């Protein structure tokens, strides 16, 4: 009896369409994918949009710990333990479309399909490296450098293709949470970056590649540093 060859597994098709244990969900800006304390029973694959992950402490203080974009998995902690609880809240920043994959289906396809498990492992390694880079950034870099790095990451500079230099709407409070400083400091640095031509903003923030100079070379135009200090003193 001749065995029929198993059809090749198409990772892109699996992540794009509904199926057993999979459904498409649409999440409006400001609405949660899941909340801290919910049952961790699924993983989301973000097809379109931007989302943020926040954690709330026992005394009610909220901190933004990650920003996700299309192509990222959200809520992968659901795979860690059966009947686990969500340790964070994932919220849509922009209108989002995501594939909700049940925990059991996620585990099955990871075990059976090497192409999928390779993709997921690459995501986890990338995420781990990002967390490590965030920690180093927090420990050793100034808040100005940390803000520049977050803006560049959100604008997706360094990714293949043309950079998406216009980032989704995000409050200065959220940026302050992400880099560990105050909203007033973020406001000061944002005004400074704008006056130096590194960014433009009205309703949306547009990031220019020249902002890389803040991180790579500590470079600002001659005389700008002194102007910035003078303006800061005047504001105070």
Q: Is the pLDDT of residue 98 over 90?
A: yes
DSSP state of 85: B
> Any idea which residue has 């400001």 for tokens?
30
pTM: 0.78
Q: Which two tokens stand for residue 52?
A: 């943020």
pLDDT digits (tens, 9 = 90+) for 14-43: 999 999 999 999 999 999 999 999 999 999
Distance set, CA 37 to CA 44, 83, 178 (Å): 17, 11, 22
Alpha carbon separation from 190 to 158, 181, 206 (Å, rounded): 21, 13, 11
Question: Which residues in the chain belong to E strands, given as ranges?
Answer: 22-27, 32-34, 42-48, 50-56, 62-69, 73-74, 89-92, 96-102, 166-167, 199-201, 205-207
What pLDDT sits at residue 86? Answer: 94
Question: Where is 177: in which H helix or E strand?
Answer: helix 172-179
φ/ψ (deg, to 5) at 153: -65, -40
Separation of CA 90 from chain center: 10
The percent of residues above 90 in pLDDT, for the chain, comes to: 53
Average pLDDT score, the chain: 85
Q: Is pLDDT of 220 > 80?
A: no
In this prediction, residues 180-192 reach a mean pLDDT of 93
228 has pLDDT over 50: no
Over residues 145-162, the pLDDT tens digits come to 999 998 988 887 655 555
- Structural domains in the chain, CATH included, are 11-137 (2.60.120.10), 141-235 (1.10.10.10)
Question: What pLDDT, on the 0 to 100 scale, is given for residue 6?
Answer: 67
């Amino acid at each position: 009896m001749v065995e029929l060859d198993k059809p090749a597994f198409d990772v892109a098709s699996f992540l794009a369409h509904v199926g057993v244990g999979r459904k498409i969900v649409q999440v409006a800006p400001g609405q949660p994918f899941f909340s801290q304390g919910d049952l961790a029973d699924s993983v989301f694959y973000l097809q379109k949009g931007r989302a943020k992950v926040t954690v709330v402490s026992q005394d009610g203080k909220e901190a933004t710990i990650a920003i996700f974009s299309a192509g990222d998995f959200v809520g992968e902690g659901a795979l860690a333990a059966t009947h686990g609880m969500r340790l964070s809240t994932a919220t849509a920043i922009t209108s989002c479309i995501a594939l909700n994959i049940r925990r059991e289906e996620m585990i099955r396809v990871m075990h059976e399909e090497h192409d999928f498990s390779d993709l997921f492992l690459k995501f986890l390694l990338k995420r781990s490296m990002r967390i490590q880079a965030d920690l180093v950034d927090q420990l050793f870099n100034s808040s100005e450098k940390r803000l520049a790095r977050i803006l560049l990451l959100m604008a997706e500079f360094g990714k293949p293709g043309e950079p998406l230099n216009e980032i989704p709407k995000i409050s200065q409070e959220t940026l302050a949470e992400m880099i560990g400083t105050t909203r007033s400091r973020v406001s000061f640095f944002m005004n400074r970056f704008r006056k130096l031509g590194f960014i433009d903003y009205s309703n949306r923030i547009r990031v220019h590649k020249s902002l890389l100079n803040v991180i790579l070379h500590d470079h600002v135009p001659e005389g700008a540093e002194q102007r910035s200090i003078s303006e800061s003193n005047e504001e105070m």
